[in-house]
Amino acid sequence: MRDKQSRIFAAAASLFAEKGFAGVTTQQISERADVAAGTLFRYATSKGELLMMVYNQQFRSALSAGDRASRSRRDPVDAVQAVVRPILEAADSHVENTVNYQRELLFGSASEKYRSEGLDLVARFEETIARRLVEAARNRGLDERRAEDQARHAGRSIFAILHLILARAFTGAHPDDDPEADLHAQIDQIVTGFFAALDDDRPARSGPEPGASSPQRKKEA
């Protein structure tokens, strides 16, 4: 079974890379993998799920590389950008496949195994972002519990931005913009907002106690 699954994965990966999602049929994948069509559908129920099987591995590898790279970054914006960069670079290798993978993540069947795995990777991406932000907040002496709550929202926002920037390459919107520079600017905005929210939650510095003499009153006296 492992041998058949490996052959199906290799056949799907090579055909998607060669022809793109739209140009590949399940029949071509089964023929290259040297398995019957019925056997193929025991491992993946549709062409979309075959794409997710292949691209989940790409997403997983890029996420692991970004996580490792981000740990050495002191600046929180640079740390978050380090998490995102390998995913952006991997997506550039075949924009059509990336956009179709995103579509399957958003709109695929809830019962599909590989979609569930993909959504788990999205959650891991958001958690990785949140960890880097909480670490940065801790280093600044901010409330860690409050930071955890805000960091979850920031992680989701950054995934949404990444999703739109990847889709933009396929739609042709904003063709003159540099995707990485644009992403960096938006990450900077979110991280700045994250810390501003934590600073706003700090208790206000208390003034002099009632009846205490101020320097001005002492001078007048």
* pLDDT confidence of residue 199: 83
Print pLDDT tens along the chain (221 aa).
788 999 999 999 999 999 999 999 999 999 999 999 899 999 988 999 999 999 999 999 999 999 999 999 999 999 999 999 999 998 888 888 999 999 999 888 888 899 999 999 999 999 999 999 999 999 999 988 999 999 999 999 999 999 888 887 666 666 677 888 889 999 999 999 999 999 875 554 444 444 444 444 344 43
pLDDT score recorded for residue 217 = 39
- Mention every residue, 6+ apart, whose C-beta is less than 8 A from residue 9: 53, 54, 57
> What was the pLDDT predicted at 210?
43
What is the pLDDT, as a whole number, of residue 203?
52
For residue 81, give Cα distances in angstroms to 68, 127, 128, 160, 190: 12, 14, 12, 14, 12
- State CA 30 to chain mean position distance: 32
Residue 216: per-residue pLDDT: 43
Q: Which residues contact 184 (CB under 8 A, 6 or more apart)?
A: 77, 81
Least Cα distance to 115 among 25, 44, 183, 201 occurs for: 44
Name the H helices within the chain. 2-19, 26-33, 37-43, 47-70, 76-92, 95-107, 113-139, 144-171, 179-200, 215-220
pLDDT at res. 124: 97
- Residue 204: per-residue pLDDT: 44
Q: Whole-prediction pTM value? A: 0.84
| CA–CA gap between residue 40 and residue 34 (Å, rounded) | 10
Integer CA distances (angstroms), 100 to 53, 55, 79, 97, 207, in order? 13, 10, 28, 5, 58
